[in-house]
Amino acid sequence: MTTRIIGTGSYVPEQIVTNNDLAQIVETSDQWVRSRTGIGERRIATVEGTSQMAARAARRALEQAKVEPEAIDLILLGTSTPDYCFPSGACEIQGMIGAVNAVCYDISAACSGFVFALNTAHAFISSGIYKTALVIGSDVISKLIDWTDRSTCVLFGDGAGAVVVTADVKGIMGIHMRSDGKKGQVLTCGARTNGNFLLGKKPELGYMSMEGQEVFKFAVKRVPECIGQLLEETKVSAEAVRYFIIHQANYRIIESIAKRFKVDLEKFPVNMEFYGNTSSGSVPLLLDEMNRAGRLSRGDKVVLSGFGAGLTWGATLLEW
């Protein structure tokens, strides 16, 4: 038995913020951001929290899968922006959608969060422990951003995507995941600092900081390496893959990965122009868009791949 995706859903906040809007608050331009990243605009949450966005995406995925919330055994939420330290976002989502029989927890792997969560659900399902799961990536990354830092604030947006997966004879063909904790400082966001009565100060909150070029180099080396290994393990050629759905951080990263595999760029769909980097939301958001646009046919081989802070990176090969 393996794991098949039987429904997808997504949600983005209504508020659109363009590059020109950001040029009003930091020294940047539409031309700079588009040419360096492929990003034109992003959505920013003003009322929704991470779990609310996730629950909306999840409801759409359940509706498409024609699965009742009570039939869900497991909810995994990939996020690095939970609304609370506890309870987990996944538990909140359970309450919102009425998935009363599910066990629920979050997975913290930054922009790899959705792919890591999907692969974890696959481990449970393929081993027979659970049958049906809801896997979600949702991030309100805008709340971690220093809006005076032009090198990071132009890159990100808020969004969520979800899939319903269940045990089936076809679906996930292989998974691959890696981490490198020694490189953690190239992309980081402080949690609360120590603060207590002994120190005589209150805890303070941190913001995201990133060494952009280091992250770029990491992504263009490790992502193709990881996908290459996965294809080798599953004996599937890059030509046989219909789509590579890669974390939407930067168009130039995607171009570079496509070049490594010597396959047409058409196999690498993108939507970062409209949403920016939505962290854990990015892969399932794009997957849902493609699914609803009728671009995926039964039997298509699809690679999903995420990379991000940790450092973490991983991929899933599946047959649609």
Residues forming the active site = 111, 247, 277
- Name the residue nearer to ligand ACO (CB basis): 37 or 316: 37
Binding mask 290-309 toward ligand ACO (x if CB under 6 A, else -) reads ------------------xx
Contacting residue, 44, 62, 186, 215, with ligand ACO by CB under 6 A: 215
When asked if residue 79 is in the footprint of ligand ACO (CB under 6 A), the reply is: no
When asked if residue 278 is in the footprint of ligand ACO (CB under 6 A), the reply is: no
Contacting residue, 3, 8, 37, 316, with ligand ACO by CB under 6 A: 37
When asked if residue 62 is in the footprint of ligand ACO (CB under 6 A), the reply is: no
When asked if residue 32 is in the footprint of ligand ACO (CB under 6 A), the reply is: yes
The DSSP code sequence of 197-257 is TTTTS------EEE-HHHHHHHHHHHHHHHHHHHHHHHT--GGG-SEEEE--S-HHHHHHH
**Residues 139-158 contacting ligand ACO, CB under 6 A:** 150-151, 154
Minimum CB distance to ligand ACO, residue 181 (Å): 14
When asked if residue 107 is in the footprint of ligand ACO (CB under 6 A), the reply is: no
- Give residues in contact with ligand ACO (CB under 6 A): 28, 32-33, 36-37, 110-111, 150-151, 154, 187, 210, 212-213, 215-216, 219, 249-250, 277, 279, 308-309
